Amino acid sequence: MDTSRCWTLCALLGAGCYVGVATDPGERAESDTGGHASTGGEDEGEPSCEAGVTELGPGAMARLTRLEYSHAVRDLFEIEVPLDELPDDELLGPFSANLDAPPSELELEAYMDQAEAIAAAVAEQPERVLDCAAEGIDEPDACADAFIEVLGRRAYRRPLSDAQRTQLRGLYELGVAQGGPSRGLELVTTAALESPHFLYHVEIGVELGVEPGTGPSEALRLDAFSLAARLSFFLWRSIPDDALLDAAEHGELDEPAGLEAQVERMLDDPRAARGSAAMYRQWMGLEGEFPDKSSESFPAYDPSLAPAMREGLGRFAAAIIHDDGGSMAGLLEDPRAFVDAPLASYYGVELPPDPAGDDGLHRVDLPGDERAGLLTRAGVMAMHGHFNQTAPVQRGRFVREALLCQPIPDPPPDVDDTPPALDPDLSVRERFAMHSSEAGCASCHTLMDPIGFAFEHYDGAGRYRTVDGNLAVDASGELTNTEDLDGSFYGAIELSERLSDSDQVRACFVRQYLRFALVRPLAAEDDCTLAALEEAFAASDDTVEALMLAVATSESFRLRRPRPLPEESN
């Protein structure tokens, strides 16, 4: 796999707008190359990938995201946590990932409040964790010991240490003195949910001890429990189940066959669909609040459509990946959708007679000449749409960043980036013409606008249209500065077809999956891992579950390189 292409792109674009697909810009000081991320390693050309040596970029110990926290609580106790009562998430590209900020007092108090509320509910029904009566444990203190063991192992994703056991037992006794055994279990549960072993992705590893220059000298090889947690958070966005912890405890994850068997089992579990749905909602930018829409410009749009747009997109991705065993092309081209009645009407399709799924959504097929795959979903278009008009710049930038892995910088200061005023007699391209006529704008905008124009059949709120003002829609588009996609095309469906047969998009898919899986920015050191995964992905005809398996069983997935402390600037 030729990974030198990105450096060619950097050079192509000159001063105004750099575009690279190399390291994530988050790498800055930690990266060996040190300087600007998109130029890192530009003289190196193709990486020399030696068998048996795995280089990798550094990563920080991340705190659970809102979604991970809520999934974990659901899997621990079958209790639902309101997401908006948990701390806001940081972002790693499009994905939620709490890598940098230490939890503030405010956030710690939010965790305390949640822990106390959850623990109170658990104390009322301790069988949510362990049914002592069914297990034949009658004596309250023995029940507490067993409760502590089971909860601790699940919540901390590894067996308790003696110190942890003693500490939780002490809290149980404090609670018993305050109000009896139920209060004791309440304090145990509270403490478990406030522990760093619950709140962080704690990864314990042993040093590899290789000589500098022959391998990742600071890398740690994860122990089996850390690997199990990485697997479950990658595939399920949640904690391991007992079966996975047992496999770790019995050494099964240390054997390739055992590891693969667990990954296969996990991909078949409904939690994998939940995890994939979350990933694609984030990747396609649908996790945030939908922007306000003008009711004058978009009378059919209603903010109440947003949840079905968001959930339906996740469900679509999960269905392609896990129900069909589908491919990247399926994600980008399949016209099926999952909708409720208002969203069906918005798409202009009939609801089928068969009942809805558990999420209240029905499977329908959207008109094949109007919609294809992820990019053409109403939700994706509405999210990447202005208040009262389409947003070719944002849509082009979204494709460039999400699927081509070519980040675009902010416009420079002092640029008037007011969207042009609406004019029913001017086409959107005429209104945005300044972007290509002014040299200062053109260097970036030629990378975005001609892709964004291809989405002109979807209005700013995601509805299909054939006229724009007084003019027929012209959705012709053009790709430039790509590895293998340059050329003109018409409309988002043809764009999606081209993207689904591109090495650059395949490489970007792999990159997005790897950073989602590792929860860290990728660095130049990760290039060999990426190249190997691209090969595996291509060899599977782009089957997404095959990529997930390849990522989960890769050597990088077992390794961790702690991030050094950044230098203080003050």
Partner 1 sequence: MSPRRFAPPHSRRSFLAALGLGAAAGALAPFVPLLEGEARPGSFPRRLVLFHTPNGTIFDEWRCAGTEHDWSLSPMLAPLASRKQDVIVLDGVDNVAIYSGPGAGHSGIGTLWTGTELQEGDMHDVPSGWANGISVDQLIANRLEGQTPFKSLELGVRVTNNATVRSRMSYTGPAEPLSIDSDPFNVFDRLFADAELDPLALAEQREARLGVIAGVEAELETLGGKLSGADQHKLEQHLDNLRAIEARIENSVGLDCAIPSMPAELALNDPNYAAIGALQMDLLTAAFACDLTRVASIMWCREAGGPVFSGFGHVDNAHWLSHRKEEPYMSQRRQIHTFYAEQFVALLDRLAAVPEGDGSMLDNTVVVWASAICESTAHGSRNIPVVLGGRCGGYFETGRYLRYGSFTGSPKHAEHGGRTNNDLLITLCHAMGQTDVETFGNPGYCTGPLL
Residues 59-78 that bind partner 1 (CB under 8 A): 60-61
CB nearer to partner 1: pick between 220 and 272? 220
List the one residue from 387, 480, 540, 555 that touches partner 1 (CB under 8 A): 387
End-to-end CA, the chain = 43
Whether 54 and 220 have beta carbons less than 8 Å apart is answered as: no
> To the nearest whole angstrom, how small is the minimum distance from the Cβ of residue 320 to partner 1?
23
CB nearer to partner 1: pick between 112 and 243? 112
List the one residue from 204, 341, 422, 471 that touches partner 1 (CB under 8 A): 204
> To the nearest whole angstrom, how small is the minimum distance from the Cβ of residue 260 to partner 1?
30
User: Which of the residues 531 through 550 are near partner 1 (CB under 8 A)?
Assistant: none
List the one residue from 109, 131, 255, 268 that touches partner 1 (CB under 8 A): 109
CB nearer to partner 1: pick between 115 and 320? 115
Lay out the site mask for partner 1 across 170-189 (x = CB under 8 A, - = otherwise): xx--xx--xx-------x--
List the one residue from 139, 162, 211, 296 that touches partner 1 (CB under 8 A): 296
- Amino acid at site 401: E
| 25 counts as binding partner 1 under rule CB under 8 A | yes
| 570 counts as binding partner 1 under rule CB under 8 A | yes
| 439 counts as binding partner 1 under rule CB under 8 A | no
For residue 39, the surrounding DSSP H or E stretch is none
Q: Nearest 5°: phi and psi at 476?
A: -75, 140
Whether 408 and 447 have beta carbons less than 8 Å apart is answered as: yes
Whether 123 and 116 have beta carbons less than 8 Å apart is answered as: no
Sign of CA dihedral 401, 497, 313, 386: positive
> To the nearest whole angstrom, how small is the minimum distance from the Cβ of residue 26 to partner 1?
5
> To the nearest whole angstrom, how small is the minimum distance from the Cβ of residue 161 to partner 1?
8
List the one residue from 407, 474, 481, 540 that touches partner 1 (CB under 8 A): 407
H helices within 157-180, ranges in order?
A: 162-179
Piece in contact with partner 1 (CB under 8 A), picked from 19-27, 121-129, 503-511, 549-557: 19-27
What are the CA-CA distances from residue 91 to residues 23, 100, 469, 515 (Å)? Answer: 16, 10, 37, 12
| 224 counts as binding partner 1 under rule CB under 8 A | no
List the one residue from 325, 411, 476, 481 that touches partner 1 (CB under 8 A): 411
| 138 counts as binding partner 1 under rule CB under 8 A | no
- Amino acid at site 537: F
> To the nearest whole angstrom, how small is the minimum distance from the Cβ of residue 363 to partner 1?
30
Phi/psi class of residue 508: alpha, beta or left (left: φ > 0; alpha: ψ in -120 to 50)? alpha
DSSP state letters, 360-429: S-EEEE--TTT--TGGG-HHHHHHTB-SSSB-HHHHHHHHHHHTS----PPPPTT---PPPPP-TTS-HH
Lay out the site mask for partner 1 across 495-534 (x = CB under 8 A, - = otherwise): --------------------------x-------------
User: Which of 260, 208, 258, 210 lies closest to 235, judged by CA?
Assistant: 260
> To the nearest whole angstrom, how small is the minimum distance from the Cβ of residue 416 to partner 1?
5
How far apart CA 334 and CA 33 sit, in angstroms, is 41
How far apart CA 22 and CA 252 sit, in angstroms, is 35
CB nearer to partner 1: pick between 172 and 509? 172
Piece in contact with partner 1 (CB under 8 A), picked from 137-145, 294-302, 447-455, 486-494: 294-302
Size of the site for partner 1 (CB under 8 A): 82
List the one residue from 134, 257, 467, 565 that touches partner 1 (CB under 8 A): 565
For residue 244, the surrounding DSSP H or E stretch is helix 242-249
| 419 counts as binding partner 1 under rule CB under 8 A | yes
Residues 6+ apart with CB under 8 A from 179: none
List the one residue from 2, 264, 365, 417 that touches partner 1 (CB under 8 A): 417
How far apart CA 371 and CA 333 sit, in angstroms, is 8
> Is residue 559 helix, strand or coil?
strand
Number of H helices, E strands in the chain: 23, 11
User: Which of the residues 82 through 101 are near partner 1 (CB under 8 A)?
Assistant: 87-94, 96, 100-101
| 145 counts as binding partner 1 under rule CB under 8 A | no
CB nearer to partner 1: pick between 439 and 565? 565
Whether 522 and 514 have beta carbons less than 8 Å apart is answered as: yes
| 307 counts as binding partner 1 under rule CB under 8 A | no
List the one residue from 288, 299, 303, 487 that touches partner 1 (CB under 8 A): 288
> To the nearest whole angstrom, how small is the minimum distance from the Cβ of residue 220 to partner 1?
10
Phi/psi class of residue 157: alpha, beta or left (left: φ > 0; alpha: ψ in -120 to 50)? left
Distance of CA 189 to the CA centre of its chain: 29
| 451 counts as binding partner 1 under rule CB under 8 A | no
Piece in contact with partner 1 (CB under 8 A), picked from 228-236, 330-338, 384-392, 469-477: 384-392
| 208 counts as binding partner 1 under rule CB under 8 A | no
Piece in contact with partner 1 (CB under 8 A), picked from 244-252, 317-325, 381-389, 452-460: 381-389
Angle at 349 between CA 343 and CA 353, to 5 degrees: 95
Sign of CA dihedral 514, 520, 522, 523: negative
